[in-house]
Amino acid sequence: MSDGHDHSHLSDTELRVRALESLLTDKGLVDPAALDAIVDRYENKVGPRNGAKVVARAWVDPEFKKFLLEDGTAAIGSLGYLGSQGADMVVLENTDKVHNVTVCTLCSCYPWPVLGLPPAWYKSFPYRARLVKEPREVLQEFGLELDDDVEVRVWDSTAELRYLVLPARPAGTDNMSEEELADIVTRNSMIGTETVASPAGGA
């Protein structure tokens, strides 16, 4: 790497990563420009806005919602959001009686094409260890208090199915367009650690 900066402050890990990239480049195993493009793709192009568009479509189009819940792969595919780590999709509907939330206890499985790369907390030891055993306590840490009459369903992604939560459409959004609705859908609501709040001034 020759970006002209003083590297004396680099950590051992940074030096080790640079050494590996340099070696793989010298051997012709990776193309640094391709690495730049991959980083750019996940920093700037693929992310939870894709999933938010799926959710907003389901909120405004009952036929699409039915399709999405019956065949998540085909419905998400119809919007163009399938691919690596999201080729076989299952969509889980949250209601006022059932709250779904997803985790991968064994590693970090997550639906990349619709949500991008997972946040650090999703990959963290506390989330992986605790969600399956004490989901209500974990959700409280995200600010979500669930009543006793709500059934919590935790989905541990142990296979190649990838899960997307369809959050409930909040009150006070009847007059919003599909694009406006997509803007209020949060990443965490599609993992299941939050609900979607009514927009300011609404409801």
Contacts (Cβ under 8 Å, ≥6 apart) of 199: 170, 172, 173, 176, 184
Q: Mapping DSSP to helix (H, G, I), strand (E, B) and coil, where does residue 79 land?
A: coil
Q: How far is the CB of 193 from another protein (least distance, A)?
A: 8
168 binds another protein (CB under 8 A): no
124 is catalytic: no
Q: How far apart are CA 176 and CA 202, in angstroms?
A: 10
Choose, by CB under 8 A, the member of 4, 8, 9, 26 that binds another protein. 26
Q: Which two structure tokens, joined as six digits, stand for 88? A: 């076989």
> Is residue 181 within 8 Å of residue 59, measured between CB atoms?
yes
- Subset of 78-97 contacting another protein (CB under 8 A): 83-85, 87-88, 90
106 binds another protein per the rule CB under 8 A: yes
In whole angstroms, the minimum distance from the beta carbon of 11 to another protein comes to 8
Residues in the chain: 203
- Residue ranges in 31-50 that form contacts with another protein under rule CB under 8 A: 31, 33-39, 41-43, 47
Q: Assess 18 for contact with another protein (CB under 8 A).
A: yes
DSSP helix, strand, coil percent of the chain (3-state; round to 5): 45, 10, 45
CB of 95 to another protein, least distance (A): 14
Integer Cα distance of 127 and 104 in angstroms: 9
Q: 166: alpha, beta or left, given left = phi > 0 and alpha = psi -120 to 50?
A: beta
Side chain identity, residue 119? P
The answer to whether 170 contacts another protein (rule: CB under 8 A) is no
Q: Are 199 and 171 spatial neighbours (Cβ–Cβ below 8 Å)?
A: no
The one catalytic residue in 104, 157, 177, 189 is 104
Residue 131: both structure tokens together: 């969600």
Question: Which residue in 69, 117, 168, 172 binds another protein (CB under 8 A)?
Answer: 117
Q: Report if residue 105 touches another protein, rule: CB under 8 A.
A: yes
Check binding of 74 to another protein (CB under 8 A): no
Catalytic residue of the set 22, 107, 124, 177 = 107
* Separation between Cα atoms, residue 129 and residue 161, nearest integer Å: 20
Min dist CB 177 to another protein, Å, is 25
Please indicate whether residue 109 is annotated as part of the active site: yes
Window 132 to 161, contacts with another protein (CB under 8 A): 132-133, 135-136, 138, 141-142, 148-161
Catalytic residue numbers, as ranges: 104, 107-109
